[in-house]
Amino acid sequence: MASITSKPVLVTLRQLLSELRRQSPTKKLAENQMVRYIFDQYRKYQTTDQQLCKAIDEMHFRARTYHNYLHHSRKYKELNTEFKGKGERSIEETANMVGFKLPHDPKP
């Protein structure tokens, strides 16, 4: 059982907020509606005693899943922009891309 104050749950919360900060158009996280919703959910499932509560585990699982989704979608966008196809490339561009050098023609 993962209580709301356990280290893995707090690490997940920090990671989730970090990803939201990277992808948010607003500068302050306090103004972000998604951040307010996440904090409300964390507070909702905060318990004072150590009772078996599946809702906390479910909330932690969803937070981890959402963090993974945000993180990997950001990485996908970065990789896609870096290696996006540019249509038909010339022979020189293709050779430079894989690290080869073309033989040069001697001038007559």
Q: What is the pLDDT of residues 49-89, one digit of tens each?
A: 556 667 778 888 999 999 999 999 999 999 888 877 777 87
Which amino acid appears at position 55 of this protein? A
* 20 located within any domain: yes
- Of 83, 15, 8, 12, the residue nearest 23 (C-alpha): 15
Query: For the chain, where are the alpha helices, taking DSSP H only?
Result: 7-23, 33-44, 54-83, 91-98
* 101 located within any domain: no
**Residue 45: exposure state from Cβ atoms within 10 A (0-12, 13-18, ≥19):** middle
Number of domains in the chain: 1
Three-class SS state of 49? coil
* 100 located within any domain: no
Per-residue model confidence (pLDDT) at position 75: 94
- Residue 91 pLDDT class (50, 70, 90 cuts): confident
- Residue 18 pLDDT class (50, 70, 90 cuts): very high
* 59 located within any domain: yes
* 44 located within any domain: yes
* 66 located within any domain: yes
Domain that holds residue 32: 7-84
* 97 located within any domain: no
